[in-house]
Each structure stands twice: as C-alpha cells, then as structure tokens.
C-alpha cells in the first residue's frame, strides 16, 4: 500500500516537472529568467508575508471549526497544523483529496482528538473555503467588467462563465448530498467495512476493528459535520477568515506583478486566483503545473499585449513559488516532528 502511494507520488511529481517545463519553454526561458532577475526583492519579500498571512488566516479558520467540535488548539498550533495540511496536499496526487486523511491524522496527534473529528474539521474547512472563493471571484469579475470591454475578450468570458457555473453547481451538489447524508452514511459503512477489516488482517500489529467500531467512527465523522453545520457563529467566523486567506493570496499575486514592474488591476487577480485554484483537482501534487498554466493563460488573455504570456508567467512563478514552497518547508518540519512523536 505504501509502495503504491510512493509510486503515485513519484509519477505525479514527474508529470509536474514536465508540465512546468513546458510552461517555461512556451513562455521563453531566456525572457523568463531575465524578468525574474529584475524583480524587486523587497516586493518579493512582501509576497512571502502575504503567504504567511494566508496560512495564518486559514489556520484560524481550522481552529474555529475545531473549537465548534470541542477541540482546543492554540493559534500558533493551528498555523503549524494547517501548514502541515498544505504540505500533505502539495506532495500528494489529487491535492486535497489525497492530503486530507494525512492531515486528519496530524490533527488527532496534535490535539488528541479522535481521527474522525480531525477529518471532519479539515473537510469542513476545505468545503467552507469554496464559498468566499467564488464570492470574491464574482466581485472581481464585476469590478473588472466596469473597467474593460469584457465582451471583447472571449477567454475572459469563458472564465466568467466557469465561475458562474461553479457558483451554482457546487453548492447545489453539496446541498443534495447533505439532504441524503444518512443514505450516504450507510453506503460508506457498507463499502469501507470490508476494506478496513482486510487491512486489519494483512497489516502487522493492527487489530481489525469490529463492524460496530467502524460504524461508530463513521457515525462520529458525520455527527461532527452536523455540529459544524449547526453553528452559525462558528461558520461565520470561519468563512470570514477563509475570505481573508483568499484576499492574502490575491494580494500576493498582485504584489508579484508589481515586483517585476508590470502592475495589474487588483480586481483581475481577485478572480484569477480562485479560478486557478480549480486546477488543484488535477492528479499533479498540489496542482503544480496545472495551476500555473491556468493562471498564466487567464492573466495573459485578460490583459492582452499590455502584459503578455511571458510576463504573466514570471509573476505566477514568483507567486506560486511562495504559495507552494512556504507551506512545504514549514509543514514538512511539522509532519516530521509529529511523525517522531507518533513513533
């Protein structure tokens, strides 16, 4: 099982290297390097600060959800735990879908909470992050449309259409799943029970749980989700800090453009960042390559010859370099320490 995960990660990173290499080649290697060399290091440092602000804001959102679930965690610990969560997402194929189980284990070790409680907390935060992302994207599109002839740019119109579709489709799907949660719970129990029992038989020193224990833990996960959904104050606070995190990311990309001497309208990055994040669902670790391609293409299409694909790519490289590698560095240390303590 571990070997399969390792192979998937290696293949994912190999594909990411190819995708990023293709992006660099298309944008022009010499021009990209020359642009990056002229970047204002002070402003690049501010991109790093914006990245830390994003991690802190979403860390507090995670802390808020854990508080609703009766789990106490300090603010600095929530920052480190969320950095560990992003580390898991960034090194695991399919991003959040692959990193959430590892993050749940980290939450349970740091807070002594049940594993299913940690899984419910990080799943809730990831779901809540969608709401302000689409809201801010729509605000950015609306403001941007008042300043340019939006109807003359077909690529931007397609991006706007994608945002509108997501704004309707995803909440509808979540609502439908929530209304059918008890039937979904029964199906999850039926499917997972034989798998977990099999793992208990083949993994050394792991006692297979009884069907009743499996049902109790899965029920605990669903009950935790219900507790979060039933707390409007906690939801409002978590959504507020989630929005702050998105604004910090947008500010980081905006500063990256200023760093290379090509400022762009803030409303442009406000809707570009959430759209770019959609590419995180690709099988590439942390969406590496996919997110960069989407951002560079969208930004170049929206700005036309005023910026160009090569310049947009340079700004995206600075921004994504900070957003990707900062949590990898911090979270990697957190996961290593947590692993040592676990052993």
What is the number of structural domains in the chain? 1
* Within a domain: 142: yes
| CA–CA separation, 256 and 259 (whole Å) | 5
Q: Tell me the mean pLDDT in the region 219-232.
A: 74
Q: Tell me the mean pLDDT in the region 200-223.
A: 61
Q: Tell me the mean pLDDT in the region 3-19.
A: 68
Does the structure show a pLDDT above 50 at 2? no
pLDDT for residue 314: 94
Q: Say how many C-beta atoms besides its own lie within 10 A of residue 165's C-beta.
A: 10
Q: Which two tokens stand for residue 141?
A: 């599109």
Instruction: Out of 59-63, 75-79, 277-281, pick the least confident.
Output: 277-281
The terminus-to-terminus CA distance of the chain in angstroms comes to 19
Give percent above pLDDT 90 in the chain. 26
Residues 6+ apart with CB under 8 A from 178: 229
Is the dihedral angle over the CA atoms 35, 41, 43, 47 positive or is it negative?
A: positive
Q: Which two tokens stand for residue 119?
A: 């899984």
* Within a domain: 333: yes
Give percent above pLDDT 70 in the chain. 69
Does the structure show a pLDDT above 70 at 181? no
* Within a domain: 326: yes
Does the structure show a pLDDT above 50 at 302? yes
pLDDT for residue 3: 46
* Within a domain: 10: yes
Query: 3-class DSSP state for residue 125?
Result: helix
Domain with 32, as residue range(s), is: 2-147+232-342
Answer with the residue of higher pLDDT: 96 or 245.
245
Which is nearest to 139 in space by CA: 247, 242, 236? 247
pLDDT for residue 1: 41
* Within a domain: 179: no
* Within a domain: 289: yes
Q: Please report the DSSP string for 205-241 in residue order.
A: T-PPPPHHHHHHHHHHHHHHHHHHHT-HHHHHHHHHH
Model confidence over 50-61: pLDDT tens digits?
Answer: 999 999 999 999
* Within a domain: 212: no
* Within a domain: 271: yes
């Amino acid at each position: 099982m571990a070997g399969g995960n390792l192979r998937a990660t290696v293949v994912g990173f190999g594909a990411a290297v190819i995708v990023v290499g293709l992006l660099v080649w298309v944008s022009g290697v010499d021009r990209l390097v020359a642009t990056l060399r002229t970047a204002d290091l002070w402003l690049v440092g501010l991109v790093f600060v914006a990245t830390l602000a994003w991690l802190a804001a979403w860390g507090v959102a995670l802390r808020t959800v854990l508080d609703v679930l009766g789990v106490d965690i300090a603010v600095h610990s929530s920052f480190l735990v969320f950095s560990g969560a992003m580390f898991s997402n960034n090194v695991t194929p399919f991003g959040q879908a692959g990193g959430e189980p590892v993050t749940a284990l980290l939450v349970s070790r740091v807070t002594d909470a049940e594993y299913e409680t940690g899984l419910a907390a990080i799943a809730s935060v990831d779901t809540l992050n969608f709401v302000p992302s689409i809201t801010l994207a729509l605000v950015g599109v609306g403001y941007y449309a008042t300043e340019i002839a939006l109807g003359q740019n077909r690529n931007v119109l397609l991006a706007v259409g994608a945002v509108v579709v997501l704004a309707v489709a995803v909440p509808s799907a979540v609502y439908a799943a929530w209304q059918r949660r008890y039937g979904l719970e029964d199906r999850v129990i039926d499917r997972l029970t034989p798998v977990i029992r099999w793992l208990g038989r083949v993994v050394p020193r792991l006692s297979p749980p009884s069907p009743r224990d499996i049902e109790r833990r899965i029920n605990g996960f669903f009950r935790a989700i219900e507790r979060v959904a039933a707390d409007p104050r906690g939801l409002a606070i978590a959504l507020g800090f989630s929005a702050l995190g998105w604004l910090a990311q947008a500010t980081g990309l905006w500063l990256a453009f200023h760093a290379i001497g090509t400022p762009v309208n803030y409303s442009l990055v406000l809707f570009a960042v959430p759209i770019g994040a959609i590419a995180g669902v690709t099988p590439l670790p942390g969406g590496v390559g996919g997110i960069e391609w989407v951002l560079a293409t969208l930004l170049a299409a929206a700005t036309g010859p005023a910026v160009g694909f090569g310049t947009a790519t340079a700004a995206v490289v600075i921004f994504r370099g900070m957003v990707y590698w900062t949590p990898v560095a911090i979270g990697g240390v957190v996961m290593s320490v947590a692993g040592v303590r676990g052993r």
